[in-house]
Structure 1
Amino acid sequence: MEKIDIEFLSNLFEMNNIMEGKSLKKLIEIGGDQGLLTAFQSNVNNGVDSNENVLRLRQLYGENLPVEKELSSIFSMIIECFGDTMLQILLVASLVSTGIGIYKEGIETGWSEGATIFFAVFLIVSITVGNNYVKERQFQKLYHKLDESKQQVIRNSKVQQIDSKELVVGDILFFNIGDLLQVDGLMVSGSEVKMDESTVTGESDSIRKLPYNEITEYLMMKSSQSQQMKNSNQLKKQLKNASPFMISGTKVMDGTGTMLVLTVGQNTCAGKTKLLLDQETPPTPLQQKLEGLAEDIGKFGTFVAIITFFALTVHQLILGFMGYNKILSIETLQFVIQSFMIGVTIIVVAVPEGLPLAVTIALAYSVNKMKDENNLVKNLASCETMGGANTICSDKTGTLTQNKMTVTGLWIENDIFMNQAIYDKKDAQVPRQMQELLAESVTFNSTAYPTKTESGNFLQTGNKTECALLELTDRFGYSISLYRPTDKIVKVLPFSSRRKKMATVIYYKGFLRVFVKGASEIILNQSTKLIAKGQEHYLDENKKKQIKQDVIDRFASRSLRTIAIAYKDTNYKGTQHQLKELAFNLSEEELEKDLVLIAIAGIKDPIRKDVPNSIKACNKAGIQVRMLTGDNTLTAIAIAKESGILSSAQPKEYECMEGKDFRESIGGLVTSQVDGKKVLRIANQEIFNKISKQLKVLARATPEDKFMLVTGLIDQGNIVAVTGDGTNDAPALKKADVGFAMGESGSDVAKDAADIILVDDNFSSIITAIKWGRNIYDCIRKFIQFQLTVNIVALFMAFLGAVILNQSPLNTIQMLWVNLIMDTFASLALATEPPSSALLDRQPYKRTQPIVSAYMYRTICCQSLYQLAVLNCILFLYPSDELTKLSVFFQTFVIMQVFNSITCRQLDYQSLNPFNNLFNNGMFWLIQFITLAIQFALLEFAANYVKVRQLTIIEHSICAGFGVLGMLAGIIFKLIPEGCWRRVHLFKETEIAEENMDATLTSQLRRKSSQRLHSKVMINVKSGEHK
């Protein structure tokens, strides 16, 4: 068959073509699935048959690489920087100043001042662009990780796991509940498959999917108007509106199966949609808070700039009227232009574009470090939010435990075998006949495909519970492939958290046999018989209670998960085709009642070694950990005690509850109106408040229970982090302030709903996220301390000099240099502080806690007063000529900022040592070295351009001494008793009233190029959902 065109394959997945039946018609015309398989040289059972064919298909139909927007070029970033109005005004004024200077002083020297300002602006733009360029590409590299996942395919007749980017058209791809499809394809096998296609169609109802051959078979039967089809109303209902087309970007809500991959990469439905996206990601909450602060600072700076320019101009005019200067002269015009440039420069310095830049740098630095510590961040705002988390609702399996499951207890033949006795072949501990029945039940009724290494080790690939059971049968000597002939399967009822069981119906010797496995109590209650001594015996209620007490409770008390395995043979007989059609008519209840109990397996999943210490760290950090699990109460209690979540020997009232009791006690969820919007609330909040104070373990919990608990905790004002791995966990993950999905065991749907992906599924990685979240918040506060101090001192001195001396002590060039120090350099130095273990020794930040604390106000005020006192002494009392005064003033001002950056690293009274942990941050020392080196170069080699003179060693020493004294002053201020500070209202610790929070968070500021970096990065790198 000739090559099938890419455009043809892509058009099959246009929604209009699917809805109108055109896609199916076109597919039939080219020979259906067999026509496609022939063209791709692939096979349903064997997959793509060779590596050479894989390369051929990749060349013909493209690679499965993520679709991404083109990154910003350096040129576009430069243009964006120069789009700042203040910089444009400054450049125009500098150009005029250059012209006047050349006219007045000649070409040899007249150009210097204007050119120096041009160079200073160029330096600022270059550093800003360089920083933005690097950070944007760092984010791109990070978010490439989000598109990486493992996919299970059949290639060369073997089931393999490959990277998603390795998928090619023609692959036979497995899909399971919770998968988020990355490619478009045609379903070729599967059962009970339902898809959430709301991202494509906007419809919330699940769409049924059926294999292509079943759809075409139905169409053929319909066209022949056979009597059999007329009588099969249930089958008609099942096939109505069904489709074999699996669309990328949609979610598998139910069922399992395989699909033939037809489009990859940018040719997929999701890929073409992403190319059309062009929507800015909103700023993070911390950036929004800082915008409000920056707006206030900017307004104040603009006011100072206006009155400074006004004071300088009026002073010059007064001198003119008094006859000292000519009002209409080149000198006066030059002075006015210089005054205007000083005013504009004050605005440039005052508007703190470094605040959002600091957030971006802190986030870029943190998320890259978090990636190295097994936290893959999807939503940047979640990094900030984790700093205030005070409650963690954690899964058990894989998060608190190792997710390495082994069957260590087995009840079979009405007898209990523990540990090695299960596998002991001596004296045939487990009868061969029962081993075979157990193996048949487990292998048929599983979706996992574990493999073996060359050395014979068992690799758990897929659902770990199923892998443990399959390893049990493998050690009994029964091959998975031998006992899983898929052509015998007629119906599958997949596992779900609602049902807590899975069933597979097979064609067996002319009748239907049903295999069921699931939660032990549920399967036990649905069983009416058990097998003992090779015979079936009736199960009465007394026997069930005995099994519950002697087997299930015994296993659970040893921290073992219990899974019951059962089967039944139905009375329905006929051909396989007849029974397959009949199976559609049979309900879950009909298939899963009157079961014969085969065995109950006790599965050991050891606690992770570092979990108990992590739980202790959470308690110390003011974070309450609650365990939510689907296991029974005894297993949950045993694990909770072992991990340290429960400390008492016997749980107190409400400390441990079952999901059903919790649900009934709080009355579920009700809808209420808040500000004209419908929101879900706990029906009985009073009871919930009473329960939540004690609740630490929720056993037999459903995803709905988890969602209710999270909703109630958030309504109480808590900042809640939630872990989840299943498809039905998605609502709770989205509802939580921060959702953690499991990277290894989590479904794609859960990962899509989460904010952070735990690459190693480890609870300790959540502690890492908390530490980095607190560190980000601290880094920004350190930067605010530093920048506000520089702002206050620079603005005040500029105004004071203009009023008293008729000039600013810092000229335009010097203030632009100061602006570079206080924005870009300071953000790099202070926003890249690594976290320390001390961050977990304090309580979390509250939602209502202001960004600038009382301690920060004290530090800012004290440092500002010290620096103003020193600078005024230099300006008015230093015994030297004016140029020397201004040179010492400039040098002292910069040196004090270097030492002040060390002082600003402290945010509380806990440490009097300003150098504490300082040597852990190489970036900080690099920035200070660069700052001092450039400052020295300006004074020694560019003095004429900066309007200063070279200083002597003694003068340099005096400047350095003032810097050191500033650091010592910071220590002295800490020694002042707390009671003295509290007399001043500004220095009292307060919280923001809830009604004022929105106003603070929604205030907006003109967003400069550095502020827009975060949004641009997120557009260019990845389009994703944000809370």
Structure 2
Amino acid sequence: MEAELEKLALIVSSYDIETLRKLGGVEGVASRLSVSLNKGVKTSDVSSRQNVYGSNKYTEKPFKRFWTFLWEALQDITLIILMVCAVVSISVGLATEGWPKGSYDGLGILLSIFLVVVVTAISDYRQSLQFRDLDKEKKKILIQVTRDGSRQKVPIYDLVVGDVVHLSIGDLVPADGIFISGYSLLIDQSSMSGESAPISIYEGRPFLLSGTKVQDGSAKMLVTTVGMKTEWGKLMERLVDGVEDETPLQVKLSGVATIIGKIGLAFALLTFMVLTVRFLVEKVLHHELMKWSSGDAMTLLNYFVTAVTIIVVAVPEGLPLAVTLSLAFAMKKLMDNKALVRHLSACETMGSATCICTDKTGTLTTNRMVVNKIWICEKTKKVETDAGGDAITLNISEKELALLLQAIFHNTVAEVVKDKGGKKSILGTPTESAILEYGLLLGGDIDKQRRGCKLLKVEPFNSEKKKMSVLIALPDGNNRAFCKGAAEIIIKMCDRFIDLNGEIVHLTENRTRNIMDVINEFTGEALRTLCLAYKDIEDGYENDSIPDSGYTLVAVIGIKDPVRPGVRNAVKTCLAAGITVRMVTGDNIKTAKAIAKECGILTADGLAIEGPEFRNKTPDEMRHIIPRIQVIARASPMDKLVLVNNLKGMFNEIVAVTGDGTNDAPALNEADIGFAMGIAGTEVAKESADIIVLDDNFRTIVNVAKWGRSVYINIQKFVQFQLTVCVVALMINFISACISGSAPFTAVQLLWVNLIMDTLGAIALATEPPHEELMNRPPVGREILRLEGSDATIVLNTFIFNTFVFCQVFNEINSRDMEKINVFRGICGSWIFLGVITSTVVFQVIIVEFLGTLASTTPLSWELWLLSVLIGAASLIVAVILKLIPIEHKNTKHHDGYNLLPNGPELV
């Protein structure tokens, strides 16, 4: 059996069509695998097939246990140095002071190190558990198969050799296999071969490889190889396990941590030098330089331990840790709220989003489509059901009803399936399912309709053509083509229609206008409109191709897709948060406008435009209209991509985009944050996205934005907390060492401070949930002061320099009076003071705006100039507050007349 499997795998991977033919083609392979191509695998055989042929899973990197994290936490070089010092301290202490007193200091250090290592390991281990759970969610992919003679959905990892898999546009091929049957199947093999051109799959080239993508068409395939034995599995085996790149915020904070660490190292060395020099000076003063004892050695060792511990405290490893903690916490909470974050950076970036380009169907609406109205034989009928749930008759002849049911049942990829209890359900897209369900409500029998006809050719629906066509052979030997799609597309293909009397008549301009009025009426009621048409073809039509003209219009169908509850409030929340919402949809512009108004997206001053008009605009015209665009109707995926590129390029927007189709992949990739729909989205769209919206709900996207902002706020809290503790701890130890010759904080105390401000601080502050007020603020900028581009660094440096100068200017003004609040009193009479201040400001303007080459500055915008002045002027308010603090005056007089404070003359 193993040899047989290897032979099949080799046939598929090497595209060996000759050997396949010798085996009897796909039927012969199915026979060897003991499976029926019509009925598929028996469910009862799945377990035994997994045992014999293997499971469809890939070897994963072993999960790290807690002890591994504990060991990694112990690898910190400074902790190792402290452990060595602790052991030496215990040895010296026991030799001089005996047990247990001599061991206190060393054991205290070891216990502190143990606590730091354990808490760090626990934190890292919990994070890894969260990421593992999220990774499992990413891999939950369902695929349609035929088992026990019926079509059903199963997890991709439950596939077995012999399964008959149904593929459609946007699917990832789940295993290696052989083409059974299908129509217009195009496969993107770039993930395997690197070739961008799609490959056509047919009986003469029937091989399909795992990991490739269905770009167009539909098909059934027989699975011949699964898991690590597939070509994709072999490739995965050779690849080194990758680690996700750091997010932009992690990179920035890692840089900050490095700088602060260097400062801490400098302070540690200075502290050690000061303590050591003072110690040596005291020995010289006491004439003991040549007399050394074990106590002296212990003193120097303690100085060294203190210096090393200062380095431990100073290195703010908690900064990147806080980002990871906050992102992991946000990702877990978002997972609970139906948003699967595939890339860490997306959660962070969403806090900066300024614009959301959203689909309509399924995202703003429920995606539970039903036929609401139908126009047929020049009559409009509202679809209603009787007590039994069947649709009320249309009052048309049997001939017209039969033609309508033919147009519904033959021209669809949706299927009616039965579960084990005999209950019927429909598998297919929401639109296809709605139309098929309507045909069943009319009393149609899909099996009976298809029994006597042969399907000759299928052109599946895609977002470019906006139509689906089929060609069938009727029982009488003639061929008939059916077409279904967007109203304006199908109307152009028709030259006849069925009138009130059931007669086929010419479609005049006047009649076309009447039909367009019906379509406009439907779209005005926020109904999605589709047209059904057919064309009889004489026997022997060339190449069995499907014509694109000469059709007879059968019906116009209006499908209702209600707006999701809460979407209007979610859009309102976005607008309050400074996030612009734009709807990009393939629907008719009237339907799009009606839905957009209902959602609160389209306002009185907003612009709704159609895709063809939008894409023909010049760059200059784009620059003027894009800020006003709120709706793009009849949009193609390329229109969405153009919109995203222009929003980012022309207006420096941070853009989030939703998508569900394969053709949405470029826009999802190009956007700052790509959202794929978890229910309606194809696997290709999900692979291209940063976040998968599991419930296809716009409110979930708004929730992601809120959590993204929360990440930034939590990091700001932690940075403020840690830097304050770090600076104070460093300065106290250093200044005390300089003044008193000893460090007030011992190594044990400093290690405890480090534990508080790093790991525990990160856990406490980086995991706070968001509050509603976050969505009442403008978006968080990705760059400091929202400076981006190649000149961002010099602009930032110039701004810092400019602000510093203005701080000094206002500090001069504050210093005019040490007691009075009004520092401007008498300023007009002090011409020298005014001259100096004015000259300083004038020269500062010249330096910043005109002496860039000499002074390494760049001209600033008026907003940055104003901000510099305001920051500097803030010192005026600080001075007022300080002067309002009451101070007790002493009556003791010094001989020269100054009032004395306990430590010197009072200067306030």
User: What TM-score range do you get, normalising by the shorter chain?
Assistant: 0.7 to 0.9
Over aligned residues, Cα RMSD in angstroms? 2.5
Whether the 8 Å CA contact 1:637–1:646 is kept in 2: the answer is yes
The CA deviation string for residues 774-826 of structure 1, in whole angstroms up to 9 with x for no partner, is 11111111111110111011111110121122221111111111111111111
Partner of 1:542: 510
Partner of 2:316: 352
Partner of 1:292: 255
Whether the 8 Å CA contact 2:393–2:442 is kept in 1: the answer is no
Residue among 472, 497, 501 paired with 1:530 = 497
Matched, 1:263 2:225: yes
C-alpha distance in 2, partners of 1:426/1:409? 12
Q: Which has the higher contact order (CA 8 A, sep 6+)?
A: 1
Partner of 1:593: 549
Q: CA deviation at 1:758?
A: 0.6
Q: CA deviation at 1:838?
A: 1.3
Matched, 1:198 2:190: yes
Partner of 1:382: 346
C-alpha distance in 2, partners of 1:792/1:602? 68
Whether the 8 Å CA contact 2:355–2:653 is kept in 1: the answer is yes
Partner of 2:274: 311
Counterpart amino acid of residue 461 in structure 1: L
> Which residues in structure 2 correspond to 1:428-827 (within 5 Å)?
429-451=395-417, 459-484=425-450, 488-508=454-474, 509-532=476-499, 533-549=501-517, 551-573=518-540, 582-583=543-544, 586=545, 591-648=547-604, 652=605, 655-666=607-618, 684=619, 686-715=620-649, 716-827=651-762
The CA deviation string for residues 730-766 of structure 1, in whole angstroms up to 9 with x for no partner, is 0000111100000000011100100000101000000
> Which residues in structure 2 correspond to 1:56-455 (within 5 Å)?
56-65=48-57, 67-210=59-202, 214-215=203-204, 243-278=205-240, 279-323=242-286, 325-326=288-289, 328-420=292-384, 429-451=395-417
TM-score by length of 2: 0.83
Partner of 1:38: 31
TM-score by length of 1: 0.74
Higher Rg: 2
User: Are the structure 2 counterparts of residues 691 and 486 from structure 1 closer, same or farther at C-alpha, using a change threshold of 3 Å?
Assistant: farther
User: Are the structure 2 counterparts of residues 985 and 632 from structure 1 closer, same or farther at C-alpha, using a change threshold of 3 Å?
Assistant: farther
User: Are the structure 2 counterparts of residues 268 and 485 from structure 1 closer, same or farther at C-alpha, using a change threshold of 3 Å?
Assistant: farther
The CA deviation string for residues 139-197 of structure 1, in whole angstroms up to 9 with x for no partner, is 11111111112211111111112222222211111110011122222110101000110
User: Are the structure 2 counterparts of residues 332 and 153 from structure 1 closer, same or farther at C-alpha, using a change threshold of 3 Å?
Assistant: same
Whether the 8 Å CA contact 2:417–2:426 is kept in 1: the answer is yes
Residue among 839, 846, 849 paired with 2:784 = 849
Q: CA deviation at 1:53?
A: 1.5
User: Are the structure 2 counterparts of residues 427 and 142 from structure 1 closer, same or farther at C-alpha, using a change threshold of 3 Å?
Assistant: closer
C-alpha distance in 1, partners of 2:356/2:504? 47
3-state SS of paired residue (2:617): helix
Whether the 8 Å CA contact 1:4–1:39 is kept in 2: the answer is no
C-alpha distance in 2, partners of 1:454/1:153? 15
Whether the 8 Å CA contact 1:421–1:429 is kept in 2: the answer is no
Partner of 1:8: 7
C-alpha distance in 2, partners of 1:607/1:294? 48
Q: CA deviation at 1:110?
A: 2.5
User: Are the structure 2 counterparts of residues 741 and 421 from structure 1 closer, same or farther at C-alpha, using a change threshold of 3 Å?
Assistant: same
User: Are the structure 2 counterparts of residues 570 and 637 from structure 1 closer, same or farther at C-alpha, using a change threshold of 3 Å?
Assistant: same
3-state SS of paired residue (2:743): coil
C-alpha distance in 2, partners of 1:139/1:199? 25
Q: CA deviation at 1:295?
A: 1.7
The CA deviation string for residues 667-691 of structure 1, in whole angstroms up to 9 with x for no partner, is xxxxxxxxxxxxxxxxx1x322211
Q: CA deviation at 1:345?
A: 0.8
Partner of 2:890: none
3-state SS of paired residue (2:482): strand
3-state SS of paired residue (1:782): helix
Q: CA deviation at 1:7?
A: 3.3
C-alpha distance in 2, partners of 1:272/1:43? 28
Q: CA deviation at 1:440?
A: 1.4
- Pick which of 289-298 and 551-560 moved more: 289-298
Whether the 8 Å CA contact 1:326–1:332 is kept in 2: the answer is no
Q: CA deviation at 1:107?
A: 4.7
Aligned residues: 792
Whether the 8 Å CA contact 2:381–2:394 is kept in 1: the answer is no
Q: CA deviation at 1:619?
A: 0.9
3-state SS of paired residue (1:482): helix
Counterpart amino acid of residue 46 in structure 1: K
C-alpha distance in 2, partners of 1:629/1:469? 20
Counterpart amino acid of residue 696 in structure 1: Q
Whether the 8 Å CA contact 1:388–1:774 is kept in 2: the answer is yes
Partner of 2:831: none
3-state SS of paired residue (1:599): strand
Gaps of at least 5 residues in structure 1 are 216-242, 667-683, 858-977, 988-1027
Q: CA deviation at 1:517?
A: 0.5
Whether the 8 Å CA contact 2:525–2:594 is kept in 1: the answer is yes
Q: CA deviation at 1:108?
A: 3.8
Whether the 8 Å CA contact 1:781–1:851 is kept in 2: the answer is no
Q: CA deviation at 1:247?
A: 1.1
User: Are the structure 2 counterparts of residues 51 and 369 from structure 1 closer, same or farther at C-alpha, using a change threshold of 3 Å?
Assistant: same
Whether the 8 Å CA contact 1:396–1:628 is kept in 2: the answer is yes
The CA deviation string for residues 386-428 of structure 1, in whole angstroms up to 9 with x for no partner, is 1111100000000000001111111111221113289987775
C-alpha distance in 1, partners of 2:144/2:121? 43
C-alpha distance in 2, partners of 1:116/1:601? 80
- Pick which of 558-567 and 427-436 moved more: 427-436
Q: CA deviation at 1:331?
A: 2.6
- Pick which of 462-471 and 66-75 moved more: 66-75
C-alpha distance in 1, partners of 2:287/2:677? 78
Residue among 22, 27, 30 paired with 2:20 = 27
Partner of 1:983: 874
Q: CA deviation at 1:245?
A: 1.4
3-state SS of paired residue (2:779): coil
C-alpha distance in 2, partners of 1:326/1:94? 26
Whether the 8 Å CA contact 1:492–1:503 is kept in 2: the answer is yes
C-alpha distance in 1, partners of 2:44/2:871? 80
User: Are the structure 2 counterparts of residues 427 and 61 from structure 1 closer, same or farther at C-alpha, using a change threshold of 3 Å?
Assistant: closer
Partner of 1:882: none
